[in-house]
Amino acid sequence: MRALFTEEAKLQNWLTVEAALARAHARLGHIPKAAAAVISRNATVAKVRLKRVKAIEADIHHDLMAMVRALTEVCGRQAGKYVHLGATSYDIEDTALALQLSAALAVIEQDLQALLRTILILVARTRKLVCVGRTHGQHAVPTTYGLKFAIYASEVRRHLDRLAEARRRIRVGKMTGAVGTQASFGPDAPQLQRLVMKDLGLAPALVSNQVIQRDRHAEIVF
């Protein structure tokens, strides 16, 4: 989980979205395919160094544009001029955040699945193991440890259901420009957005403005 939230991991997610955007532009004939190939090849933290991005950010005071400039540098003059074409910062940042949070949910889901398997083993082992029941802070009729563990298992199963629902709502990105109208991408902007999101394994936002709306992120936090 820690590895998913490093500065370098965040940078790589940004670069991954930039590469998908370039490939979508190329598929629609907006930019040369060779340029998209150069951008995709260089959109890695092995080429775009975090140290360089931070140095540019210290100069221009804009984190996302620092990445754009650093990627442009390594792509060269011909391909570099097509980096970030038509996009606003949060087209990249929020779409990348969807990738990051989806990966984080996958880690949590793996842990919950392991916990559920362990509890179900305990259910089977203790289904006839009698223990004292309690109510109002005092002894009550007998119960079994199997029943107690089965209740825990049922709760974890509901947690897994909640995660699946939350994942569906967080796996959403956008390419809609500075105010959400998509005007900066031209007349085939909806198709461009669909191509980018399909490339990344995300769904396109039904509607947005400059950002992906924060109720999605609030749900994940809770």
Name the pTM for this structure: 0.92
Question: What's the pLDDT tens digit per position in 12-47?
Answer: 999 999 999 999 999 999 999 999 999 999 999 999
Confidence category of residue 69, pLDDT binned at 50, 70, 90: very high
Same fold, 1-85 and 86-186+199-222: no
Distance in angstroms (rounded) separating the CA atoms of residues 195 and 201: 10
- Residue 203 tokens read as 């769904």
- The CATH class, in words, for 86-186+199-222 is mainly alpha
DSSP-derived 3-state class of residue 187: coil
At the topology level, CATH places domain 1-85 in Fumarase C; Chain B, domain 1 (1.10.275)
The pLDDT of residue 202? 98
Distance in angstroms (rounded) separating the CA atoms of residues 65 and 56: 9
Share of the chain above pLDDT 70, in %: 100
Confidence category of residue 122, pLDDT binned at 50, 70, 90: very high
Confidence category of residue 96, pLDDT binned at 50, 70, 90: very high
Residue 198, amino acid: K
For 81, 86, 173, the CA distances from 195, given in Å and listed in that order, are 21, 15, 11
Residue with tokens 């907006």: 30
Averaged confidence pLDDT in the chain:
97
For 42, 68, 75, 83, 211, the CA distances from 36, given in Å and listed in that order, are 10, 14, 10, 9, 25
Residue with tokens 């769904």: 203
Confidence category of residue 152, pLDDT binned at 50, 70, 90: very high
Question: What's the pLDDT tens digit per position in 157-190?
Answer: 999 999 999 999 999 999 999 999 999 999 999 9
* Mean pLDDT within 59-64: 98
Locate the domains of the chain by residue range.
Answer: 1-85, 86-186+199-222
